[in-house]
Structure 1
Amino acid sequence: MAAAQLILSVDYEVFGDGSGEPRHCVQDPARRIMQVAEGFDAPVTLFVDAAGFAMMESELRSVCSVAAIKAQLAAALERGHDLQLHLHPQWEGGRMDAEGEWQLDLSRWRIADLSDGEIRLLLKEGRTWLEDLARSRQPDYRCIAFRAGGWCIQPSERVVRALRKLDFLVDSSVAPGMRNTTKGEWLDFTKAPKLPYWMTRGDVCTPEKKGLYEMPIATARIDPVRHMRALVAVKGRPDAGFASGCEGSYRGPGGTVSGVVGRLAKLSKLGQVMLDFSSMPSRVLIDVSRKWLKQFDGVTDVPLPLVAIGHTKNFSVASEQSLAEYLEWASGEGIAFTTFPAWLDALNAD
């Protein structure tokens, strides 16, 4: 089996409609994720929803919450973790109402639906917010990787063009085989190439000889019955579903779905699974990893990137146990732990 390097990525965010208290839905679960990972000397890549936190920072009632977020992010860098850019465009122009609830324009859910100027400005402002924070602690910090909010990067030509113009090197929005037909949230990665990574200058599902690196989230097919049992097990456990103390809504432009199981059900037909350590038990994570590594054994001379995903708001007590068990397995298999910049540096050094 080919050598592999695991990238533990985490979407560091509240809920897409603005609900969710940052301490319980972001800070506390992120702290636990990093604690588990540090037990295995594994760096975590936090995909920070910079647009969301920048908007919160502009509201006097949430300034203290964002100050705590920024302190955690700075400390994460000092402890060897990484920060990269995640964007939910619906935060642009958001406002907090009299009850302290955020009111967002959910018609802006998909970055790919925005104008060229809006896409470029969001990316530029988001990266500036993140780099200003990071470089105060780590002067050589590089924001080079991006993940679209809700994975909604398609049609991707204009987004990829903007990323390249702004000197981003990596996108990690694609989850091969996944599809969402929900109004206002659509994505379709069913035609993604059967490759561990590729380059693109436009369509993220079409490999090219040069361009932006697409480093997809690892996915695999598992038995549909097994998938259903895993989802039911998540729903049935009192310690699963949301991070401890976290409450929020999965309301999107297409309406409201019920809980994490409903959210996952929108993404594809049963049996197609992401390497998602916040929602899947360790046995499924191990199965997906084995299939991914077997599929691409011998495809490349460099270590295979194995990109896992998690979400702070979904990182429950059950998730914590699953992640620890999964990392113990990965360590035993000789899988190394890395970040997007480190993997890219190693690739370019060969």
Structure 2
Amino acid sequence: MQVIVALAALGSLAAPALGFSIPRGVPVSQSMIDVKLSSSGNSMVKATITNNGNRALNLLKFHTIMDSNPTRKVSIESEDGKEIQFTGMMPTYKEKDLKPSYFISLPPKGTVEHSFDIARTHDLSRGGKFTLKAEGMVPIAEENGTEITGAAKYHSNELHMTIDGKKAASVENAFGIVKRGPLSRINKRTSIDMQSCGNRQELQALTAALRASAQLSSKSAQAVSQNQEKYMEYFKDPQYMQTVQSRFQAVAQESSSTTGGSTTYHCSDTMGGCEEGVLAYTLPSQNEVFNCPIYYSDLPPLSNECHAQDQATTTLHELTHNPAVQEPFCEDNGYGYDRATALSAEQAVQNADSYALFANGKFNLILPMLIDPD
């Protein structure tokens, strides 16, 4: 693990937008909303979201087709059926104290449109014919409310687009990323730059979180084979034990060093991706992780509450998103205990929060949170 401390300034084809935590027992509708994709330019896509119901809905934007961040909103295949590499961000959102600004209000039978440029988050420079589709689940609150009381699944139409590669290549990537080849590894072996950290407390917190992530991951790797009941609770099928165990071992190894490794962990946001509600985010195509201000202000170092968010397991979660740690890297198929444990075995083994929750659910109570006083 390489840590870069900076001034706070700024497989299979994945199914996007399934992620945010939805409480167990809330009703899930299969037909409450409709999502239609249409082309509105060379690489521009317009999503039209319609409320099919008879009551107003407050739709949470996080990890859905309406997310304003450059997240994976659609799956894209080339004409030969190959997945187009995603170069955008995978954010971890704060699950508690949701604000009204995180929602979009939609009246009965009303529609809202959200447009986005897929060239900002995918390399489409080769051009040609592509097939897009979107599927996911939108958490829903009552009109003017912020408490999640339901959810609505959506499956869009298939959209076929012919894209001019030169025009797509001229679109600025969401993070100004230079193409480095598919899932390339970075190994700059950057040491911690004490002078560039926003403050000493952030550096201490990140160092402690990495240390705790290493301990949690190591103990979780052992528990996979020692506690089958706990393993089955999260991952469902014994055939994936070796995969889960090896991922925990890989995260433990990556977390155990702050001066070398396959990923770059930034103490603060140097890429401008910390929008409202984002705790941290990963750029899988670059094997880089960035912490946001509320990672430090709103999360405890290590929670004594089962399945709660904290700095250590958020860091563990982010590391599973990096292909340099283990391929294929984890997606955000289900956030929170209720969603994560409702996934199929195939989804769970590739779900970042399943690993964070497994680690948090039992083992953190016996681990001291050690913060280096130096």
Provide TM-score, normalisation by structure 2.
Answer: 0.27
Return the TM-score normalized by structure 1: 0.29
